[in-house]
Amino acid sequence: MDQTKQEEEYGYDLFPERKPGEHKKTSIAESLFTFNHKCQVMLQFAVETSEYQLFSLFLSGCSKVFKDRHFSCEDCDGTVSGGFDAASSQIVLCQNNIHQQSHMNRVVTHELIHAFDHCRAHVDWFNNFRHLACSEIRAANLSGDCSFTNEVARFNFGFKRHHQECVRGRALRSILAVRKISRAEAEKIVDEVFDSCFNDHAPFGRIPHSKRDAKFAYRDYMNRDRYYANL
Amino acid sequence: THQIRQCFSSSLLRCIGEPVQTVASVSCSWGAALSVVFCCFKPPRACEDYWSEFRHCKSFKNWFHHYYTYGTVPSCQQWKEDYHNCREWEKHRGTEAKEALRRSEKIRVAEQRNFIPVWQLRQEPPRDWHVPLNQEKPQDS
């Protein structure tokens, strides 16, 4: 498969600074004339939040996530906010599309869920649409993307069971953004895996809607030895 | 008898403070056997944890999020029962309370696993997770 085709097939065309298999270091000029510095600062704040600390503990076999190795601030096309590049084990943050700290926090959590799935399972990101859909469903479900307040800010005023509609919709959007398949096909795949993936709350054990949920998830994680020994 | 008593009380103290598995490694005979009978089990969660889960479950915020996610109101009674069983076990060490707690937690674990995974879990993390991006550039951690 030639390079251009591969770029389009796997969504790399959204991340023009990122060619599959290559790594480019940001130059000083680029740092000055892009949002790179702002992105780095916001990322630093994001990794200092307690949710991040908690999450990095959970990261299963990939015991440590290093800010300099596993995160990259880059310019991206369109309105995409971030991505997970399995080829280089990096979380991409779109410096030109993330302008608020709360947005940064949410994108970091969303992409960390992809990283978590990559670390704990054999996810075939490039060839298996069901795997991709599953991770997108989980990321939309567990990252706070679909919280009531975020949906209202997008002028989506649903309430009863609206969370699930939002998760479905956002997973669909994410798949269509990075893969060349029809909407009908993508919907079918999301429907097939939705029940399984929506109910997979690893590593939290619950859908973390609030700080207290996150705190209790952390408590359960620290207590896991005692818990399973006494069942 | 003095030795058995000493062995029993030290096993008991260790059992209260440490995970169940270590009790089996205590090498003294009768004392260890007695302490295993008495304290082989601890409630899966601390009793205060059951109570805080109950309070959290009953909160307005949780009601709101649950209805927003599932379209139903959350059911919190089980946390309260577990809390009472936990306290009951602490006071009287009864088997009924212990079994009720175990049953309840096993149901919770089953609910968490009530789906067919789409992918296969790894035995080890991906090999290239920590591999540096550029061979000539040293990576900061």
Query: Which of A60, A63, A69 to probe the B interface (max B CBs under 10 A)?
Result: A69
- Nearest neighbour of B42 by CB, restricted to A69, A130, A226: A226
Query: Which of A63, A146, A216, A231 to probe the B interface (max B CBs under 10 A)?
Result: A231
pLDDT at B118 over 70: yes
HEC states along chain A?
Answer: CCHHHHHHHCCHHHCCCCCCCCCCCCCHHHHHHCCHHHHHHHHHHHHCCHHHHHHHHHCCCCCCCCHHHHEEEECCCCCCCEEEECCCCEEEEECCCCCCHHHHHHHHHHHHHHHHHHHHECCCCCCCHHHHHHHHHHHHHHCCCCCHHHHHHCCCCCCCCHHHHHHHHHHHHHHHHHCCCCHHHHHHHHHHHHHHHHCCCCCCCCCCCCHHHHHHHHHHHHCHHHHHHCC
3-class DSSP state for residue B132?
Answer: coil
List A17, A51, A111, A151, catalytic entry: A111
A30 is catalytic: no
DSSP label of B45: S
Per-residue model confidence as pLDDT tens digits over A163-207 = 999 999 999 999 999 899 999 999 999 999 999 999 999 888 999
Phi-psi region of A83 (alpha: psi -120 to 50; beta: other; left: phi over 0): beta
Query: pLDDT above 90 covers what percent of chain A?
Result: 54
d(CA B97, CA B85): 5
d(CA A70, CA A24): 14
Which residues 172-211 of A are in CB contact (within 8 Å) with B?
193, 195-197, 199-201, 205, 207, 209-210
- Residue in B closest to A195 by C-alpha: B115
Instruction: Confirm or reject contact between A89 and chain B (CB < 8 A).
Output: yes
Instruction: Confirm or reject contact between B60 and chain A (CB < 8 A).
Output: no
Q: Give me chain A's average pLDDT, please.
A: 86
Cβ–Cβ gap B126/A62 under 8 Å? yes
Q: Give the C-alpha distances (Å, rounded to integers) separating A160 from A125, A137, A163, B67, B81.
A: 33, 19, 8, 6, 28
Query: Which of B23, B99, B119 to probe the A interface (max A CBs under 10 A)?
Result: B119
Sign of the torsion angle spanned by Cα atoms A7, A10, A12, A13 = positive
Quick one: average pLDDT of B100-126?
93
pTM of the model: 0.82
A135-139, A206-210, B38-42 — most confident range: A135-139
Which residues 47-76 of A are in CB contact (within 8 Å) with B?
60-64, 66, 68-69
pLDDT-derived band at B11, boundaries 50, 70, 90: low
Nearest C-alpha neighbor of A92 from the set A144, A30, A18, A37: A18
Q: What angle do CA A105, A109, A115 make, to 5 degrees?
A: 140
Written as six digits, the tokens of A1 are 């498969």
Quick one: average pLDDT of A220-224?
89
Amino acid symbol at B63:
W
Written as six digits, the tokens of A91 are 């979380």
Q: Which ipTM value was assigned to this complex?
A: 0.86
Instruction: Confirm or reject contact between B120 and chain A (CB < 8 A).
Output: yes
DSSP label of B128: T
Q: HSE-up of A185 (CA within 13 Å, CB side)?
A: 8
d(CA A86, CA A187): 24
pLDDT-derived band at A127, boundaries 50, 70, 90: very high
Q: Give me chain B's average pLDDT, please.
A: 79
Query: pLDDT above 90 covers what percent of chain B?
Result: 56
Residue B69: CB partners within 8 Å, gap ≥ 6?
Answer: A161, A163, A164, A207, A209
Q: What are phi and psi of A205, to 5 degrees?
A: 80, -5
**Is-contact A91 A66, C-beta < 8 A?**
no
Amino acid symbol at B74:
P
- Nearest neighbour of A62 by CB, restricted to B67, B121, B129: B129
Chain-centroid distance of CA A71 in Å reads 12
Instruction: Confirm or reject contact between A34 and chain B (CB < 8 A).
Output: no
Cβ–Cβ gap A160/B116 under 8 Å? no
Which residues 116-135 of A are in CB contact (within 8 Å) with B?
117-124, 130-131, 134
